[in-house]
Amino acid sequence: MGQRAAIYYRVSTVDQSCEKQERDLTAFAGRAGSGVTGIVKETGSGAKLDRAERRKIMALAQSRQIDVILAIELSRWGRSTIDLLNTLCELECWKVSVIAMNGIAFDLSSPHGRMLATLLPGIAEFERDIISERVKSGLAAARARGKRLGRQTGERPKSPGADRRRT
């Protein structure tokens, strides 16, 4: 009998698609012989600590409805080192593992798992900080070239229903 798995996938913005993540994770679960108990999609920054959809997965873990959480990569589950370690410790109390598609499993009951759980989130947070610095650098370079960024003065587009008057 395979493990009961929950699939968690996340994108940062609404214009990004989760289809590939869902397809790849569902196939991954099938190859591992895991039964998929829940599939949860989240849209939002991985740096945010309060993610409603991820809380649903945590509730499944706490109620012992799942044995494993599948994510496409570690950074999809959490980018903050402290948050990631806290959730991994919580999950370990409930005997639930997190497995990324790259095959890394987090078994915090072993020294090897605790070492990975310490190193990899730090690398993910470092990567996020580098991306942020790159974006800021790009914006500064655009401003130096005279590019006007942000909301421009003048007419603003009206939202649907803006012409309706309150009575």
Domain with residue 75: its CATH number is: 3.40.50.1390
pLDDT at 145: 95
Q: pTM of this prediction?
A: 0.63
pLDDT at 136: 94
Cα→Cα distances 20→16, 45, 102, 167, Å: 11, 18, 15, 48
Active site annotation includes 12: yes
Distance from C-alpha of 61 to C-alpha of 31, rounded to nearest angstrom: 22
Name the burial class of residue 97, with classes exposed (0-12), middle (13-18) and buried (19+) by CB atoms within 10 angstroms of its CB.
buried
**Is residue 148 a part of any domain in this protein?**
no
Residues of the chain with pLDDT under 50: 1, 165-167
Which of 12, 45, 110, 132 is catalytic? The answer is: 12
pLDDT at 128: 79
**Is residue 50 a part of any domain in this protein?**
yes
C-beta of residue 9 within 8 angstroms of C-beta of residue 76: yes
pLDDT at 167: 47
**Is residue 159 a part of any domain in this protein?**
no
**Is residue 163 a part of any domain in this protein?**
no
Q: Which residue range forms the structural domain that includes residue 46? A: 4-124
**Is residue 147 a part of any domain in this protein?**
no
**Is residue 145 a part of any domain in this protein?**
no
**Is residue 105 a part of any domain in this protein?**
yes
**Is residue 23 a part of any domain in this protein?**
yes
Domains identified in the chain, total number: 1
pLDDT at 47: 62
pLDDT at 32: 83
pLDDT at 99: 84
pLDDT at 110: 73
Residue with tokens 């649903």: 56
Q: Using DSSP, state whether 85 is helix, strand or coil.
A: helix
